[in-house]
Amino acid sequence: LNCHRTLCLTLKQHRSVWPRFMSAATTKLFINGKFVESHATDWIDVHNPATNEVVTRVPKSTQAEMEKAVEAAKEAFKSWSKTSILTRQQLMFRLQNIIKANMKRLADSITTEQGKTTPDAEGDVLRGLQVVEHCCSVTSLQLGETLPSISKDMDLHSYRVPLGVCAGITPFNFPAMIPLWMFPAAIVCGNTYVMKPSERDPGAAMILMELLKEAGCPDGVVNVIHGQHEAVNFICDHPDIRAISFVGSDQAGKYIYERGSRNGKRVQSNMGAKNHGVIMPDANKENTLNQLIGAAFGAAGQRCMALSTAVFVGEAKQWLPDLIERSKKLKVNAGHEPEADLGPVISPAAKQKICELIQSGVDEGAQLLLDGRNIKVPKYEKGNFVGPTVLTNVTPAMRCYKEEIFGPVLVTMCVDTLDDAIQIINQNPYGNGTAIFTTNGATARKFTQEIDVGQIGVNVPIPVPLPMFSFTGSRGSFMGDSNFYGKAGLNFYTQWKTVTQLWREGDVSHSRAAVAMPV
């Protein structure tokens, strides 16, 4: 067993019904550098989505435990904020190394709790690791500004300082990457942290805590609490928490943004999406169809940057039969099976919602060209599997277009011109990502200029920026001022301090007080 899990031999009160002879490992809290068993009375079962077997039980942290976590972070801030920037940079170097060495362990945990395939789970870790690598450049990123001799013998310095205790609330779909978007950027700037991972797959975040400890991070610098709404409300309301990073659904994101902001906190909130891929008839057909299929069905469509809507322009619509044939070839299986292209979705409830949205499309007049609802996966009959599904003749008024499906479902539309495609996308409330497939530079340029979406791919289906840039989803997909990671991420976790200083040689005394505004 891992440090963050213990096998309970006595049954505690929790909401599922357990066979008497069985119990599952509990997930611990991480407070002040120690993995501690919660005293919670309410627990949440985490299931392997491929089998629906219980993997672990996650506590709904008690008020006292959450208070202890903030207290530990507050105490640690006193010394951590004063450590040299080189010390914090060294921690990132070590963390980077240790995460790399533990890639397989992290990926296995992700596949077990979240369901994605092993290569995709490794990608989840790698994309987070890149943020840690970027944090290693903190000595350049956190440079301030100086203007000497702003007046006679007077100099101005502006530099960034940490905020204090910050908090992160993460979704289920990237159990390693999204925690790694948050706490490394915060602590490298000198903040301390309280993390609330998704209650549906907290394992990877807990392994990251083990690795952080092994890397030499002082006690209390990062702490982990578990739970759902009460933990979220605690974070939004606690007077000692200065900033909140949230990634997840619209409903939770808007709520946390509003509640946190109302309490005077800095909040960045990345939310849902409906990403469109525009297929021009001049695109490279082979490449485009493969890219589209990978981006629509990879991770069983549970990526906020999945291309869930394809807009075929003009004659490109002739490629639909080919798209279906290729999609049928994808292998649906448990994520750890070597040939799996896509694994299960997170829960039976998620599967039910996905199936309902597919049916709503059919009921509203769309055509179901490929139906993955009744897929059977041998050996994993109890898993939450949905096979690749393609709906066509979808219109913007349909529910399957308006709502985020978050499953392996590609809705397709056919339009006459690029202008029509741009109009549809710009009218959609979300602005997370979009892509165009074309061999014409002028078409690509027009698209990138006229489209009102924060992250654009040109012949790139999932344009998630590398961390020297930032994750710049916009409109309905983001609330806040500073985006995640990159320069914006460091801005989020720091505030400016500006010092005006006068050092004059000789006699500086004045004969009388100057009462006019100094200029």
Of 77 and 430, CB closest to ligand NAD:
430
Report the candidate in 162, 167, 222 with the shortest Cα–Cα distance to residue 190.
162
CA–CA separation, 47 and 199 (whole Å): 11
Q: Which residues are catalytic?
A: 304
- Nearest residue to the partner ligand NAD, using Cβ: 248
Of 229 and 331, CB closest to ligand NAD:
229
From candidates 61, 477, 483, 494, binder to ligand NAD by CB under 6 A:
477
* Cβ atoms within 10 Å of 77's Cβ, excluding its own: 23
> Taking CB under 6 A as the rule, does residue 122 contact ligand NAD?
no
From candidates 185, 304, 370, 451, binder to ligand NAD by CB under 6 A:
304
> Taking CB under 6 A as the rule, does residue 229 contact ligand NAD?
yes
Q: Helix/strand/coil (H, E, C) string of 233-270?
A: HHHHHCCCEEEEEEECCHHHHHHHHHHHHHCCCEEEEE
DSSP category for residue 342: B
From candidates 2, 89, 137, 228, binder to ligand NAD by CB under 6 A:
228
Of 186 and 247, CB closest to ligand NAD:
247
Give the CA diameter of the chain. 92
Q: With H, G, I as helix, E, B as strand and everything else as coil, classify residue 84.
A: coil
> Taking CB under 6 A as the rule, does residue 404 contact ligand NAD?
yes
Residue 357 token pair:
């949205």
Min dist CB 508 to ligand NAD, Å, is: 54
Residue 354 one-letter amino acid: I
Residue 168 token pair:
């992160």
Strand-pairing partners, residue 479, are: 269
Min dist CB 453 to ligand NAD, Å, is: 12
Q: Which sign, positive or negative, has the C-alpha torsion 479, 481, 487, 493? A: negative
DSSP category for residue 300: G
Residue 94 makes CB contacts below 8 A (sequence gap 6+) with 215, 216
> Taking CB under 6 A as the rule, does residue 252 contact ligand NAD?
yes
Q: Which stretch binds ligand NAD (CB under 6 A): 23-31, 40-48, 86-94, 470-478?
A: 470-478
Residue 133 makes CB contacts below 8 A (sequence gap 6+) with 92, 96, 467
Q: With H, G, I as helix, E, B as strand and everything else as coil, classify residue 225.
A: coil
Min dist CB 178 to ligand NAD, Å, is: 6
> Taking CB under 6 A as the rule, does residue 58 contact ligand NAD?
no
Min dist CB 251 to ligand NAD, Å, is: 5
From candidates 95, 138, 221, 232, binder to ligand NAD by CB under 6 A:
232
> Taking CB under 6 A as the rule, does residue 56 contact ligand NAD?
no
> Taking CB under 6 A as the rule, does residue 345 contact ligand NAD?
no
* Cβ atoms within 10 Å of 231's Cβ, excluding its own: 23
From candidates 170, 268, 275, 333, binder to ligand NAD by CB under 6 A:
170
Min dist CB 231 to ligand NAD, Å, is: 7
Q: What are the residues binding ligand NAD (CB under 6 A)?
A: 169-174, 196, 198-199, 228-229, 232, 247-249, 251-252, 255, 270-273, 304, 404, 406, 432, 471, 473, 477
